[in-house]
Amino acid sequence: MLFFLLMVDNLSLLFNAPILSAQLLVDGILIGAIFALVAYGMALVWGVMDIINIAQGEFVMLGGYVTFFLAAAGVHPLYTVPAAAAALYILGWALYRTVVFRVVDKDMFISILATFGISIVLQQLANELFEADVRTAESGLGSLFFADGLIVVSQIKVVAFICALVLGATLFLFLKHSRLGRAIRATAQNARAARIMGVNTDRVFATTFALNAAICGAAGSLVVMTWLVHPYLGLAYTLRAFMIVTVAGLGNMASVILASLGLGAAENFAGFVLGTEYQAAFVFSLLVAILVWRNALLSRQRKYLK
């Protein structure tokens, strides 16, 4: 009962003070940019290697710890973003060479199991090495004020947003124009044909997996500056990335970014109106609705949903 009363209150609040919507929208979009990075990495690995990487969130978490420890050692957190990406690149490469290459052309179920295993190992290792405490890194940036202080945006979120866009754009150019990028795209289209054409697909796979880890590492670095990090942080990011990729598809970067920003905003509005306990429930119901709707559209054209 209290719940419905509060919900009606919240809705009328939004109508009476439209400026709140602006605040929610801005916050949501800024959060969405971080999801976009993680989701894009997932789409890359999924598309090129046909692997759903469950350890995605753990890469984010580890990237966060790289920044936390470097910041604790006196480095300004903003400069640690490349370091986190580099460290995770190496880890991604190592994981490919030890575990992932064994499952890359196997059944998808096996690769899910393998990356699920990796995620548990990373989580527990982080807990063992870094302890279960919640950590943050202070960027020392303030907040921006708009509309007489009615909209407040913390600068670090803006930085994270810009970083996400720059990273995304760099990645896009890399895939489009570099030799290795072309090899990656060729492998994604047809690994066997690429191999026949002389592409070293094993190297492409290793690079792709490492690249994904690096993107997640950078995202994690931004997460610890904006929010916080702890060993069990990963699942939220894996789930959201998975959801975004499901909605947006694998091949299209623009739609991944749009879906991420949309998800961020939708989540924030749902949290405001329904209360935070229904935030996730709302978003995943939305996923179901979108899938059903898309399926209906496709069936009219006699296509099917992959």
Partner 1 sequence: MAKVVKTRAWAVLGAVALVLAVGGPASPKVEGDTIILGAAVSLTGKYSTNGKNTQDGYELGVKRINEMGGVRVGGKYYKIKVIYYDDESTPARGAQLAERLINQDGVKFMLGPYSSGLTKAIAPVTEKYRIPMVEGNGADRALFTQGYKYMFAVLSTSDQYLREAMNLAAEQAQKQGKDPKTLKVAMAFENDPFSMDVRDGVLEDVKRLGMKIVIDDKLPPEINDMAATLTKVKAVKPDILVVSGHARGATMAVRQVSDMKVDVPMLAVTHCDSAKVAETLGKAAEYALCASQWDRSLSYKDRWFGMAEEYAKVFEKEFRYDPPYQAAESTAALLVFVDAFERAGSFDIEKVREAIAATDLMTFYGPVKFDATGKNIAKPMVLYQVQDGKYKVVAPTKWAAAKLIHPIPPWSKR
Cα dihedral 62, 65, 71, 74 sign: negative
Encoding tokens for residue 194? 């690429």
Alpha-carbon distance of 170 to 185, in angstroms, equals 15
Instruction: By CB under 8 A, tell whether 58 contacts partner 1.
Output: no
Closer to partner 1 by CB, 133 or 179: give it.
133
Alpha-carbon distance of 187 to 171, in angstroms, equals 16
Closer to partner 1 by CB, 168 or 220: give it.
220
Instruction: By CB under 8 A, tell whether 285 contacts partner 1.
Output: no
Token pair 């690994």 in the structure block, residue: 191
In the complex, minimum distance from the CB of residue 281 to partner 1, in angstroms, rounded to a whole number: 9
Q: Which of 20, 94, 180, 290 touches partner 1 by CB under 8 A?
A: 20
Instruction: By CB under 8 A, tell whether 227 contacts partner 1.
Output: yes
Encoding tokens for residue 147? 């509309």
In the complex, minimum distance from the CB of residue 71 to partner 1, in angstroms, rounded to a whole number: 10
Residue 220 near residue 67 (C-beta atoms within 8 A): yes
Number of residues that bind partner 1 (CB under 8 A): 50
In sequence order, the 6+-apart residues with CB closer than 8 A to the CB of 83 are 66, 67, 70, 75, 221
Instruction: By CB under 8 A, tell whether 280 contacts partner 1.
Output: yes
In the complex, minimum distance from the CB of residue 226 to partner 1, in angstroms, rounded to a whole number: 8
Alpha-carbon distance of 62 to 92, in angstroms, equals 11
Q: Which of 233, 244, 247, 248 touches partner 1 by CB under 8 A?
A: 233
Which is nearest to 130 in space by CA: 52, 209, 220? Answer: 220
In the complex, minimum distance from the CB of residue 222 to partner 1, in angstroms, rounded to a whole number: 12
Give the residue ranges of DSSP H helices in 73-107: 80-98
- Length of the chain (residues): 306
Alpha-carbon distance of 93 to 101, in angstroms, equals 10
Closer to partner 1 by CB, 76 or 192: give it.
76
Per-residue contact flags (x/-) with partner 1 for residues 124 to 163, judged by CB under 8 A: ---xx--xxxxxx-x----x-x---x--x-x-xx------
Give me the residues that bind partner 1 (CB under 8 A), please. 2-3, 6, 9-10, 13, 17, 20, 23-24, 27-28, 31, 127-128, 131-136, 138, 143, 145, 149, 152, 154, 156-157, 223, 227-228, 230-233, 235-236, 239, 267-272, 275-277, 279-280
